[in-house]
Structure 1
């Protein structure tokens, strides 16, 4: 299996202000790529007629909950799946409202690409800045800015160029490396799947073509070898009584049979005896494959340990600095005790200090804050009860992220990016 073959799945998130047309865009992608069933299309056509529309309201394909439809808004993260002959896709459809920042963080945390919608009539809005900042904070490698509703500005190249210039001026302050712009009409289908006849002045690719061909193999860290152990496999059968395998997902680097490795936290070194994928032995494995490894020496290894290279180890520390998005209605304060989950390891921790909050609309720091409210993003210091084997989030999104858990309710209350 090549690295390219393993990266045929593209995860992307959609974000924009309320009524920018996210649901219609996703509906158009599903409809024009023939990824929906006939009965679904018929149901949407019937609903559109009942509402008195003279067109098929494709947004109804994605608004799953009746109550959401009645309010005219989408309020949770909805995952949609579709495929073309070139690639498989998972869409995280997140809400546009300010109070659902946590939902966008959830949906975008594993994304390779973010689609940010801008209404051609309105230009950049507060939510554009907010969502772009979150995409930058989460280190989403690719951003596509879809300037939607071009049909309502008479497909004007001048309007498109102004929005592109405004966005480029803003995004230059952010850590976003790959930004593409596509003028579209999700309602009419211009430049979504089919090239628009109304915008001959636009010569780049359609949105779907870009999604199918964007290069994502280099999005993963193939340099730093990181294998957090998820489970120790000891089959209790006579034929496999000596088998001891370590299962998990590779979160960085390339591992090969015969490689010398070190087990953290014990520091013991050994060599990889074999690597198995779906019961078959393979010579090498890389991020983000899930495999089972066997080692040449018997070492006491348990869930939460990490297999690495002796000459390339993550930092082992109990003091963490992280940017955190707080997701709980109860505010976070200094001295709060939490559980932190880092890769497959879970341990107790305490918030030492809230350093500052970020105003995600202006990007300014807000100092001297004593607590973090729900949907706030802030930099905090954490002390963990056990060493955490971490990399900086900007180097490795998997080993650089943490989840914060309430120790009493076991509810996820925050998501953090290690600095």
Structure 2
């Protein structure tokens, strides 16, 4: 079987393709995520000599003789090396002649799923590793995928990660058996169809031996598809569209130093969507005041137009009550104001959700008091069926209703990640307890 795909890349006419790809590795414990990234870095010449020397002398090396333990390139914490597991998200950077990459090595252990969500939140692609030695193959032809494989795939779908690569790892342990590979991929594609994942590619490999990671393997002549690095280099990723509705969360209100005659008042922040020009008519949300752009300032001077991704200071003709947490938006295409938010929620805390308690909801630069008023349904990872629930525990995924003390100017997560996402913060411990994706189609 060659690379499997359930659909083509969406039409992106008019957008420029980005040379940088952000991707994460995901899967269960000991599937070989850290080793795979180490192999990618090693075979693509992305490791310095002193790094190689350091890991070759590491006391927690798990390989025999002079063989390099490539997992140590990303597992930097002492606890990670002692236990042989990934705990924190490790970011690595490397480049090939065709593309630059940012890799996030995320934990496989269920306890650290919240760290996987962190790494996935900015990813363009995800590599779902499947360890062939752990997958149960039944005589009736059925295949049991691991729960973490299903959980991470579900999170990838919720976060709208565009590209999914299914890396069937440790093929050397089954003598590169084609039939086993094909059964696993077929089962995964069935599960992905339930989720609604679209752009899926599959590749058989051995991260430890280097088969089909950077160089094609002569041990799997039945596989004629691209290697992992070829796949990563070929994925289409586009810069954010400037045609989207303008969104500018205010981070800071800048004033002059008090010794100047002019009353300078600028609103500082990062453009999260669209573009803005001098003279544009804007709306200040949630107050719904009308405003006109007087000037757009940067460290390099004044601009006539600024676009998504730029950090700027916007000056307005009007004197308005605007503070951190307000949002400047396109007057013709404003965000949706909500005091009751419908969302998909990933619960990340070891303490269960208490619907009687208040939490802080952090949305863009705005932080408001909030309470989860209802758990509408909870998702069963294995069956993808939803059922009623009265509480959420660590790693649960549910559709919820949240009341906020002050209205939010929000977009649907599927339309715009930055203004369609939020986190919940425990007001006592100040720990992040949940990550949410707003669903306007179900808004009250």
TM-score (norm 1): 0.90
- Residue of structure 2 in register with 1:173 after alignment: 194
Contact 2:55 2:69 in 1 (8 A): yes
Q: Which residue of 2 aligns with 1:96?
A: 108
Q: Relative to structure 2, which stretch is displaced further, 338-347 or 372-381? A: 372-381
Match for residue 363 of structure 1?
A: 384
2:93 maps to: 81
- The superposition leaves residues 10-68 of structure 1 with CA deviations (integer Å, 9 ceiling, x where unpaired) of 32221111111101011112222322221110122234888534522211111112222
The answer on 1:340 being equivalent to 2:352 is no
- Residue 238 of structure 1 and its aligned partner are, at CA, apart by 5.9
Partner of 1:254: 275
Q: Give the distance between the partners of 1:62 and 1:167, measured in 2 at CA.
A: 27
Separation of aligned partners in 1, 2:89 and 2:327 = 31
Aligned to 2:28: 17
Equivalents in 2 of 1:90, 1:145: separation in Å?
19
| 2:49 alignment partner, one of 38, 53, 73 | 38
Q: Secondary structure at the match of 2:67?
A: coil
Please point out which of 233, 238, 242 is paired with 1:217. Answer: 238
The answer to whether the Cα contact below 8 Å between 1:141 and 1:219 also exists between their aligned partners in 2 is no
Aligned pairs for 1:211-360 within 5 A: 211-217=232-238, 222-236=243-257, 241-360=262-381
The answer to whether the 8 A contact 1:146-1:183 is kept is: yes
- Contact 1:333–1:354 (Cα < 8 Å) also in 2: no
Maintained 8 Å contact 2:242/2:307? no
Write the distance in 2 (CA, Å) between the matches of 1:220 and 1:149: 40
Question: Residue 24 of structure 2 contacts residue 105 of structure 2 at CA under 8 Å; is this kept in 1?
Answer: yes
Q: For the aligned residues, what is the CA RMSD?
A: 2.6
Query: Is 1:62–2:74 an aligned residue pair?
Result: yes
Cα distance change of structure 1 residues 413 and 338 upon mapping to structure 2, 3 Å threshold: same
Q: Which residue of 1 aligns with 2:176?
A: 155
Q: Is 2:395 aligned against 1:375?
A: yes
Partners of 1:177 and 1:255 lie apart in 2 by 33
Residues 340 and 405, structure 1, Cα contact 8 Å, conserved in 2: yes
Deviation at 1:356, TM superposition (A): 2.4
1:350 is displaced (CA, Å) by: 1.5
Q: Which moved more, 1:100-109 or 1:167-176?
A: 100-109
Contact in 2 for aligned 1:259/1:271 (Cα 8 Å): yes
- Displacement of 1:222 in angstroms is 4.5
Q: Confirm or deny that 1:109 pairs with 2:121.
A: yes
| Corresponding residue pairs, total | 416
Q: Residue 240 of structure 1: CA displacement?
A: 9.4
Distance 1:35 1:103, change over 3 A: same
Match of 1:399, SS?
helix
Cα offsets for 1:378-400 (capped at 9, x unmatched): 22211111010111112211111
- Rate the CA distance shift 1:188–1:356 in 2: closer, same or farther, 3 A: same
Q: CA–CA distance in 2 between the matches of 1:266 and 1:306?
A: 9
Assess, with a 3 A threshold, how the Cα gap between structure 1 residues 20 and 278 changes in structure 2: closer, same or farther. Answer: farther
Deviates more, 1:276-285 or 1:14-23: 276-285
Q: What is the alpha-carbon distance in structure 2 between the residues aligned to residue 38 and residue 310 of structure 1?
A: 55
Question: Which string of whole-angstrom CA distances, capped at 9 and with x for unpartnered residues, describes residues 227-251 of structure 1?
Answer: 1111122242767954432222222
2:163 aligns with one of 139, 142, 145: 142
SS in 2 for 1:340: strand
1:392 aligns with 2:412: yes
Residue range with higher mean Cα deviation, 104-113 or 397-406: 104-113
The offset of 1:277, in angstroms, is 4.6
Counterpart of 1:120 in structure 2 is 132
Q: Deviation of residue 403 (structure 1)?
A: 0.8
In 1: Cα distance, 2:304 partner to 2:222 partner = 50
Q: Distance in 2 between matches of 1:86 and 1:236?
A: 48
For residue 372 of structure 1, give the secondary structure of its aligned residue in structure 2. Answer: coil
8 Å Cα contact 1:263-1:308 kept in structure 2: yes
TM-score after normalising by structure 2 = 0.86
In the alignment, which residue of structure 2 is the partner of 1:410? 430
Where does structure 2 lack aligned partners over 5 or more consecutive residues? 1-13, 136-144, 440-444
Distance 1:302-1:357 versus aligned 2 partners, 3 A rule = same
Whole-Å separation in 2 of the counterparts to 1:294 and 1:156: 64
